[in-house]
Chains A and B, each alone.
Chain A
């Protein structure tokens, strides 16, 4: 199956700082999504972004499908941003919507 690699594995920030999380994938994709898993374990869908750029408040994401990577930007980070951020993809050959997940970036934001 398609390989999904995320970096960095861990990130520690002070409140107010900006950060960039990266997701590399090994093959062409139909779908790329970013998820946030909060400290209580809930998985929240942040972006559906197979290509292009989207913004939602302090978060934005860019996917360059031809170069097989996506970036998640978090600006003016807050303690509530803490948690694990996952990238997940559906490979272009799939007709079944099977998501392949990366191992995530653990983000800790200190006040």
Chain B
């Protein structure tokens, strides 16, 4: 089925561990992004990409790295997990870079850092 696929759905990490959240889309969208959602907040942008090989920081990039080697995949790396990174992470893609039209979200990854 067409859409945005995120894995894993749930993850528990110990402080200091590293991991990669996977995101893949099969809609040939150029624009992909990662958000985090914390209780009582909207979604805050971590990093985004406007095409393969091009990434940039969003509002809350510290502690996260991204790369975009293909149009389909946009993994998010936590280098050294901290309890403040406990959150729900959403990946999204869009076919319109200038307007963000057609935004499609993945089902999310719930991350707990202990």
Which residues of A are at the interface with B, using a C-beta cutoff of 8 A?
Answer: 1, 4, 30-31, 33, 35, 41-43, 45, 48, 50, 86, 88, 90, 94-99, 101-104
Contact = CB atoms under 8 A, between A and B. Distances in A.
Contacts of A101: 35, 42-44
Contacts of A103: 40-42
Given A31-B100, A33-B100, A97 B94 contact: yes
B107 interface: yes
Contacts of A88: 42-43, 100, 103
Contact of B108 (A41, A90, A94, A104): A41
A97 B104 contact: no
Nearest to B9: A41
B48 A42 contact: no
Contacts of A90: 99-100
Nearest to A41: B108
B56 interface: yes
Nearest to A40: B107
Contact of A50 (B90, B99, B103, B107): B99
Interface string B44-58: 110010100000101
A24 to B, nearest CB: 14
A102 B45 contact: no
10 smallest CB-CB distances across A and B, nearest first, come from A101-B42, A97-B100, A43-B105, A31-B99, A101-B43, A90-B100, A103-B42, A31-B100, A97-B97, A30-B99
B58 A48 contact: no
Interface string B88-111: 101000101111111111011010
A98 B48 contact: yes
Contacts of B94: 97
13 contacts: A31-B100, A35-B105, A41-B110, A43-B105, A90-B100, A95-B98, A96-B48, A97-B31, A98-B45, A98-B48, A99-B33, A99-B103, A101-B42
Nearest to B43: A101
A51 to B, nearest CB: 12
B29 to A, nearest CB: 10
Given A1-B59, A45-B104, A97-B31, A102 B42 contact: yes
